[in-house]
C-alpha cells in the first residue's frame, strides 16, 4: 500500500496545504467547538475532509451551540459527558440531522448511561478508552444493550465496528474508530514528518512508496506480529480477532474474559440478524 | 490427476527439529539438464493421456532456495518441451516463506500459482535457522513472507506439526493458531519419524494425539462458525455428512495418484516414501513417468485395502473412513505396507471418545462404501 489513498490526520491547520495533503483525505483535529464551522467551510471544497475530530477534553457535549451550519460536517466529538441533558434533548432533532458521532470516556461511569440515551435517541456514539481503567461490567452491559436490545438505537462504537467486521477472514481491530490503523491513517506532524501512531517513531514524508511499504511492514512486525513473536497473553486470547491487544490493560478485571464475551454477543446478534 | 511431489532440492535454510530430510538426506539440487528431462517426461505422459491434467507440487528442502533463475528455467522448459500440454500442468508450492521475495512471486504468478502451503511454529526451538535453531529470526522472515504473499493476493494455509513440546497445551496452541490464521486454514498432524527415531524427544503417541485433538475439538465445535477450516475437524464434519475420504493418507486410493521426484532424478511414491527410502522406483533418466505409474509396488498398494480388511482392520467400523491410514506408516510400524498405520488408533479414539459424543453424529460406513463403489 502506498501513502496515496490513506487518510492524513492533522492537528495543525498550517499543514493543510496541497503540497502536503495532495489528494489524500484528511482528518482535522480541533479542540475549540467555535472553530468547527469555520474550518470546515474554509477547507471543504479544496480538500476531501474525512472527518473533523473535536476533542473537548473534560468538556461537555452541551457546551456546543449547535445550529444548522453543523448539518453537513462529518464530525466526531470526544466529550467527557453530555452536560445539560435538557439542552441536548431540545436540540436532539438537529443533532440527528448532523453527521455526528459522540464519543465518551470509558473511565467515566456516567458514560454508559449517556451512551444508551444518545443511541436510543438515534445519535451515533461510542466509548473511548483513556488512561484510567474501565469498569468491565458496565462495558459489557453497554455491549449487550447494543447487540441485544430490541429497542431501535443508533450505532455505538466500537461494538458496531466489531459487528461489521466479524466475518472477515483476517484480524481486524476496531482501531479505525479511533483513527489508529497504519493501513488507513497517518499522523502528520510537520511538512516533513509523519507517524503511524501519535506517539510512534517519526518518519520522513518523502519516503518512496517502496520504503513506505517497508516501514508499514516493520510497524506491523513490531505491533501485530510482535504478539506472535513474544507469545504474550494477547496471542493466546480468544478475543484477539476483535481486540488485537487494543484493550489489554483497559479494564478493571480480566480483559480476555470481557472481550471474549463481547465477541460472543456480536456473533449471537449477527446470527439473529441473519 | 497425478500429483508430482517434486523435491527439486533437498537443501533448506531452516533446521526443523523433526525434519527427516535434514536427518537423512544430502542437500542436493537438481541440475538444469535433469530438469529438462523431467519436462520431456511430463510432456510424454500428457501426450499419451490427453484427457488428464498434471499437478506439480514444488517441495523441498526449501523450494525458494533455488532462486528465481531456477523457476525462469522451468518456464522456459515448459515452453520448449510442453508447448501443447503446459496448460494442463498446474503448480503449487510448499515453502517456509522465509526466502520469498517479489521476483519469486512474479515468476510463481507466471506459473499460474495463486496460493502457498507453508508451516508455522510459534514456540521457540522447534523451527529455526542454524545450529541454534534461531526461531526469532526465522519467524520474523516468515511473517515478512506472509505480508508479501498477501500483498500479492496469494492465499495461504499451513501445517502445524504437533510435538511433545505442546502436547500438554492443546487449547493454548489452538488459540495461537486461530489468532494467527483467523478462519482456520491449517492442518494439525502429529510429528512423524523414521522408525520412531526420536533423538530430540519430540515424538508423541497415537493416544496422546487423539486426546490433544479431542481437547481442541470441544472448543472448535462450539465455535466452528468462527474458525471453520481447521483440519482434520472440518473434513471429518464434512465427510460424516456427505461421505468420502479425509486426506491422502486415509484415502486408500493413493496407489495411482502420487509420484515423487527427487533432486537426483530418483523416483518414489511420495515425499515420505522418499524421505524413508521406501518404494525406490528408479531414475527419471531411465524410467518414464508412465513406467513409474506401472511399477509393481503400485499393484501391492492397490491390494492393501483388501488385505487389511481381512487382517489388521477386520471388523473395524471406521475402515471405510481411514483405510488403515497411510501405507508408509504401516511400513514404518511393521516393515510392510500391508500393516495398518499406528496412527489408526488416534483416529479411532478421537472419533469414538470425542467427535461422536460431542457432535452427536454417528459414522455411517454405507455412505463411504457407496462412494467407493461409484469409483
Kind plus residue range of the DSSP H or E element containing A53: strand A49-55
CA–CA distance, A139 with A144 (Å, rounded to integer): 9
pLDDT score, position B292: 95
**Contacts B180 to A, Cβ<8 Å:** 228, 235
**Contacts A236 to B, Cβ<8 Å:** 172, 175-176, 179
Q: Output the furthest CA–CA distance in chain A (Å, rounded).
A: 54
- With a cut of 70, say whether residue B216 has pLDDT above it: yes
CA–CA distance, B259 with B273 (Å, rounded to integer): 10
CA–CA distance, B17 with B13 (Å, rounded to integer): 13
DSSP chain A: --STTSEEEES-GGG--HHHHTT-EEEEEES-GGGHHHHHHHHBTTB-EEEEEEE-TT-BGGGS---GGGTT--EEEE-SB---HHHHHHTHHHHHHS-EEEEEETT-THHHHHHHHHHHTT-EEEEE--SSPB-HHHHHHHHHHHHH--S----EETHHHHHHHTT-SS---GGGGGT--TTTEEEE-SSSEEESSTTS--EETT--HHHHHHHHHHHHHHHTHHHHHHT-GGGG-TTHHHHTTTTTT-BSS-HHHHHHHHHHHHHHHHHHH-
- Per-residue pLDDT of B258-303, as tens digits, reads 999 999 999 999 988 988 888 889 999 999 999 999 999 999 899 9
Say what the pTM is. 0.92
Please give the residue of chain A at the shortest CA–CA distance from B147.
Answer: A217
- With a cut of 80, say whether residue B375 has pLDDT above it: no
- With a cut of 60, say whether residue A207 has pLDDT above it: yes
pLDDT score, position B168: 97
Cβ distance A240 to B225 less than 8 Å, yes or no, reads no
CA–CA distance, B215 with B181 (Å, rounded to integer): 19
**Contacts A267 to B, Cβ<8 Å:** 225-226
Cβ distance A231 to B139 less than 8 Å, yes or no, reads no
| Residue from the list B136, B144, B179 with its beta carbon closest to the beta carbon of A240 | B179
pLDDT score, position B243: 73
Q: What percent of chain A has pLDDT over 90?
A: 77
- Per-residue pLDDT of B328-353, as tens digits, reads 999 988 999 999 999 999 999 999 99
**Cβ atoms B120, B96 nearer than 8 A:** no
Could you tell me the pLDDT band of residue B369, with boundaries at 50, 70 and 90? Answer: low
> Do β-strands A193-195 and A185-188 pair in parallel, antiparallel, or remain unpaired?
antiparallel
Interface of B with A in 102-131 (CB under 8 A): 122-123
**Cβ atoms B273, B59 nearer than 8 A:** no
Q: Is B268 exposed, middle or buried (0-12, 13-18, 19+ CB in 10 A)?
A: buried
- Per-residue pLDDT of B192-206, as tens digits, reads 888 888 889 999 999
pLDDT score, position B21: 77
pLDDT score, position A2: 58
pLDDT score, position B244: 62
- Per-residue pLDDT of B218-246, as tens digits, reads 999 999 989 999 999 999 998 888 776 66
Peptide bond into B232 cis (omega under 30): yes
Amino acid at each position: 500500500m502506498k501513502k496515496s489513498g490513506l487518510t492524513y490526520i492533522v492537528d495543525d491547520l498550517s499543514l493543510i496545504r496541497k503540497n502536503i495533503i495532495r489528494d489524500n483525505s484528511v482528518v482535522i483535529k480541533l479542540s475549540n467547538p467555535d472553530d468547527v464551522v469555520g474550518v470546515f467551510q474554509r477547507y471543504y471544497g479544496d480538500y476531501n475532509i474525512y472527518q473533523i475530530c473535536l476533542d473537548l477534553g473534560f468538556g461537555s457535549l452541551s457546551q456546543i451551540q449547535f445550529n444548522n451550519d453543523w448539518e453537513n460536517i462529518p464530525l466526531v466529538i470526544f466529550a467527557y459527558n453530555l452536560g445539560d441533558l435538557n439542552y441536548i434533548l431540545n436540540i436532539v432533532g438537529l443533532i440527528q440531522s448532523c453527521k455526528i458521532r459522540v464519543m465518551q470516556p470509558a473511565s467515566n461511569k456516567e458514560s454508559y448511561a449517556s451512551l444508551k440515551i444518545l443511541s436510543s435517541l438515534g445519535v451515533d456514539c461510542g466509548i473511548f478508552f483513556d488512561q484510567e481503567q474501565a469498569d468491565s461490567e458496565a462495558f459489557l452491559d453497554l455491549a449487550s444493550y447494543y447487540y441485544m436490545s430490541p429497542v431501535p438505537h443508533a450505532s455505538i462504537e466500537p461494538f458496531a465496528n466489531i459487528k461489521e467486521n466479524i466475518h472477515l477472514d483476517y484480524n481486524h481491530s476496531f482501531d479505525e474508530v479511533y483513527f489508529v490503523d497504519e493501513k488507513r491513517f497517518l499522523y502528520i506532524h510537520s511538512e516533513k514528518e509523519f507517524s503511524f501512531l501519535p506517539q510512534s517513531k517519526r518518519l520522513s514524508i518523502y519516503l518512496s512508496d517502496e520504503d513506505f511499504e517497508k516501514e508499514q511492514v516493520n510497524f506491523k512486525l513490531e505491533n501485530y506480529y510482535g504478539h506472535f513473536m513474544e507469545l504474550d497473553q494477547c496471542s493466546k486470547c480468544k478475543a484477539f480477532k476483535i481486540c488485537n491487544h487494543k484493550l489489554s490493560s483497559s479494564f478493571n478485571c480480566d480483559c480476555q474474559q470481557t472481550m471474549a464475551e463481547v465477541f460472543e454477543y456480536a456473533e449471537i446478534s449477527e446470527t439473529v440478524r441473519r | 490427476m497425478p500429483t508430482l511431489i517434486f523435491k527439486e532440492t533437498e537443501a533448506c535454510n531452516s533446521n526443523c527439529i523433526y525434519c527427516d530430510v535434514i536427518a537423512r538426506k544430502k542437500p542436493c539440487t537438481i541440475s538444469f539438464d535433469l530438469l529438462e528431462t523431467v519436462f520431456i517426461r511430463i510432456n510424454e505422459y500428457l501426450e499419451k493421456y490427453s484427457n488428464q491434467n498434471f499437478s506439480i507440487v514444488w517441495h523441498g528442502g526449501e523450494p525458494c532456495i533455488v532462486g528465481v533463475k531456477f523457476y525462469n528455467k522451468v518456464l522456459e522448459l515448459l515452453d520448449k518441451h510442453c508447448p501443447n500440454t503446459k496448460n494442463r500442468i498446474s503448480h503449487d508450492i510448499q515453502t517456509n516463506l522465509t526466502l520469498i521475495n517479489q521476483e519469486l512471486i512474479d515468476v510463481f504468478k507466471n506459473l499460474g500459482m495463486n496460493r502457498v502451503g507453508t508451516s508455522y511454529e510459534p514456540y521457540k526451538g522447534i523451527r529455526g535457522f542454524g545450529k541454534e535453531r534461531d526461531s526469532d529470526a526465522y519467524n520474523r522472515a516468515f511473517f515478512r513472507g506472509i505480508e508479501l504473499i498477501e500483498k500479492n493476493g496469494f492465499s495461504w494455509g499451513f501445517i502445524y506439526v504437533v510435538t511433545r513440546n505442546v502436547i500438554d497445551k492443546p487449547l493454548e496452541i489452538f488459540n495461537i493458531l486461530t489468532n494467527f490464521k483467523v478462519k482456520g486454514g491449517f492442518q494439525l498432524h502429529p510429528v512423524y519419524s523414521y522408525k520412531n527415531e526420536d533423538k530430540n524427544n519430540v515424538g508423541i503417541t497415537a493416544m496422546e494425539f487423539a486426546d490433544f485433538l479431542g481437547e481442541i475439538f470441544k472448543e472448535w465445535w462450539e465455535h466452528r462458525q468462527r474458525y471453520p477450516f481447521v483440519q482434520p475437524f472440518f473434513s471429518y464434519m464434512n465427510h460424516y455428512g456427505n461421505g468420502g475420504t479425509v486426506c491422502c493418507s486415509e484415502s486408500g486410493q493413493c496407489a495411482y495418484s502420487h509420484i515423487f521426484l527427487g533432486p537426483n532424478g530418483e523416483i518414489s511414491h511420495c515425499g515420505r516414501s522418499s524421505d524413508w527410502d521406501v518404494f525406490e522406483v528408479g531414475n527419471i533418466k531411465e524410467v518414464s513417468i508412465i513406467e513409474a505409474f506401472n511399477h509393481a509396488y503400485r499393484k501391492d498398494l492397490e491390494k492393501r485395502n483388501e488385505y487389511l480388511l481381512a487382517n489388521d482392520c477386520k471388523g473395524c467400523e471406521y475402515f471405510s473412513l481411514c483405510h488403515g491410514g497411510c501405507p508408509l506408516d504401516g511400513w514404518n510400524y511393521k516393515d510392510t505396507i500391508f500393516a495398518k498405520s499406528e496412527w489408526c488408533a488416534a483416529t479411532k479414539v478421537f472419533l469414538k471418545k470425542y467427535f461422536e459424543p460431542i457432535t452427536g453424529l454417528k459414522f455411517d460406513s454405507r455412505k463411504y462404501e457407496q462412494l467407493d463403489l461409484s469409483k
